[in-house]
Structure 1
């Protein structure tokens, strides 16, 4: 697939089934992720793969987090949390790993990790792998962070769900570029 085609036409695939991406597909996805802009070559990211029975363990961790945050959570809410990781055969957790640096602020490092996640999604799409980037309250929960073994300088910035699209992907909606781009002619006078 042409790079511009992937950039312009990538869409999320929220309904995913087996099989998960192959080892070869994963290698290409991670290679693409590692080409993200990286000021200072800090590589401010890491990835955790979750598949098979580990998805159930992640679901239990999610349920534990919901129960901790909402002591009155009913069984339906806990079951929903347990089932979240089961929506795809493979999850890739994208973790921003910031560090002190005199020229590269933490915010830039988190953005770089986001670019790595986007590169991974584009590489998935280019190979016909279905993918969707999910976040939500469990991507910044202390119980989840502890269960994943995150260090104090790490944060989950996304759960990438990957697999085979259950149905044909929708076409990317047309976007009017002019609604988002304008020129700047200099400092605004007050």
Structure 2
């Protein structure tokens, strides 16, 4: 039997941490890197080969166009919002050089439970994060209010049956981010 350990992969998974989008800068992934990231992200367990997910790539000016739509919705719901808050909403998807929306297309199926389809979308997001970190980028997986607002989802191109599994912000870290306290595994493990 050959040694199948991959210490670099294990090291990456041990030290990976989220970096807030305001602490991410460019350059982001180039077109070849982006294609590689999406290819790796799509290599997940997918019972029935349904691909119950898809991607929305927010890059360049597209990040700002999406932000304008979000800011308009926020302003309509919060007439008291000042210019600073509206600018924050406008820049939600423009802080990192690249944001990839992972859209869940889970739907009733005669054989494949929706729950398994949802888990597959989560695996896509995590594969994307690990691949980006392996390339030397930093990431943050966020949802925020607009991931749950049907008007915002429609403005971002989702149909009425789709849900946003998350927005993966990708860039280069501008600072070293301290690790957060991790759960005590002894509290999370039982044996049968």
Into which bin does the TM-score normalised by the smaller protein fall? 0.7 to 0.9
**TM-score, normalised to structure 2's length?**
0.87
Do the aligned residues in 1 keep the contact of 2:102 with 2:166 (CA within 8 Å)?
A: yes
**TM-score, normalised to structure 1's length?**
0.87
Which digits, 9 at most, give the CA deviation of each residue in 1:98-119, with x for residues without a partner? 2321222223212210110000
Q: 1:183 and 1:55 mapped to 2: Cα distance?
A: 47
Residue 77 of structure 1 corresponds to 85
What secondary structure, in the 3-state scheme, does the structure 2 residue paired with 1:86 have? coil
Residue 4 of structure 2 corresponds to none
| Matched length | 184
What secondary structure, in the 3-state scheme, does the structure 2 residue paired with 1:128 have? coil
Task: State which of 135, 143, 161 in structure 1 corresponds to 2:151.
Answer: 143
Which segment drifts farther, 163-172 or 52-61?
Answer: 163-172
- Say yes or no: does 1:183 pair with 2:191: yes
Task: State which of 98, 108, 111 in structure 1 corresponds to 2:119.
Answer: 111
Which digits, 9 at most, give the CA deviation of each residue in 1:1-43, with x for residues without a partner? 7222222221112211110112232222212211111111111
Do the aligned residues in 1 keep the contact of 2:56 with 2:101 (CA within 8 Å)?
A: yes
Which digits, 9 at most, give the CA deviation of each residue in 1:73-123, with x for residues without a partner? 333322210122221111111100123212222232122101100000001
Unaligned runs of 5+ in 2: 1-6
Q: Trace 1:1-190 onto structure 2 (pairs within 5 A).
A: 2-14=8-20, 15-171=23-179, 175-184=183-192
What secondary structure, in the 3-state scheme, does the structure 2 residue paired with 1:11 have? coil
Do the aligned residues in 2 keep the contact of 1:10 with 1:172 (CA within 8 Å)?
A: no
Do the aligned residues in 2 keep the contact of 1:63 with 1:82 (CA within 8 Å)?
A: yes
Q: 1:101 and 1:26 mapped to 2: Cα distance?
A: 31
Cα gap change, 1:137 to 1:174, in 2 (>3 Å): closer
Q: 1:157 and 1:110 mapped to 2: Cα distance?
A: 8
